Amino acid sequence: MDCESTFESKIAWKDFKLNSDGMVPVIVQDYKTDEVLMLAYMNEEAFETTLKLGKMTYWSRSRNELWTKGLTSGHVQYVKSLMLDCDNDTILAKVSQIGAACHTGNRTCFFKELV
């Protein structure tokens, strides 16, 4: 069973390179399989809430509000690790995904084959 944990970042939010909306994109992977589950965005409040709860929390651009994944659906993402890329502008989150990651009910948001 997954349980909540609290985390402390080794890199301060002020050292992140933010996009024009004051956010960083977050690539989310399953920590066991490395399957890419989704892409979302974090602002500072979402980042701090993620660290505090040990559950992935994002900024919902469509609802314009903080969004802890699984709060309504039960499809929680427990943090296993957070890594910052070489440019300090993208987070890679490895998570324990409970249920579907995608709002469509699919395990991953990446299921539409292009090529």
The answer to whether the CB of 110 falls within 8 A of the CB of 100 is: no
Query: Could you tell me the maximum CA-CA distance found in the chain, to the nearest angstrom?
Result: 40
Asked if residue 108 belongs to a domain, the reply is no
Asked if residue 45 belongs to a domain, the reply is yes
pLDDT of 44-83, one tens digit each? 999 999 999 999 999 999 999 999 999 989 999 999 999 9
Q: What is the DSSP string of the chain?
A: ---------SS-GGGS---TTS-EEEEEEETTT--EEEEEEE-HHHHHHHHHHSB-EEEETTTTEEEETTTTTS--EEEEEEEE-TTSS-EEEEEEE-S-SSTTS-SSS------
CATH of the domain at 35: 3.10.20.810
pLDDT of 6-54, one tens digit each? 899 999 999 999 999 999 999 999 999 999 999 999 999 999 999 999 9
- For residue 52, give its domain range: 20-97
Report residue 95 as tokens.
């998570």
Asked if residue 106 belongs to a domain, the reply is no
Asked if residue 114 belongs to a domain, the reply is no
Asked if residue 10 belongs to a domain, the reply is no
* Whole-angstrom distance, CA of residue 6 vs CA of residue 52: 5
Number of domains in the chain: 1
Asked if residue 91 belongs to a domain, the reply is yes
Asked if residue 52 belongs to a domain, the reply is yes
21: left (phi over 0), alpha (psi -120 to 50) or beta: alpha
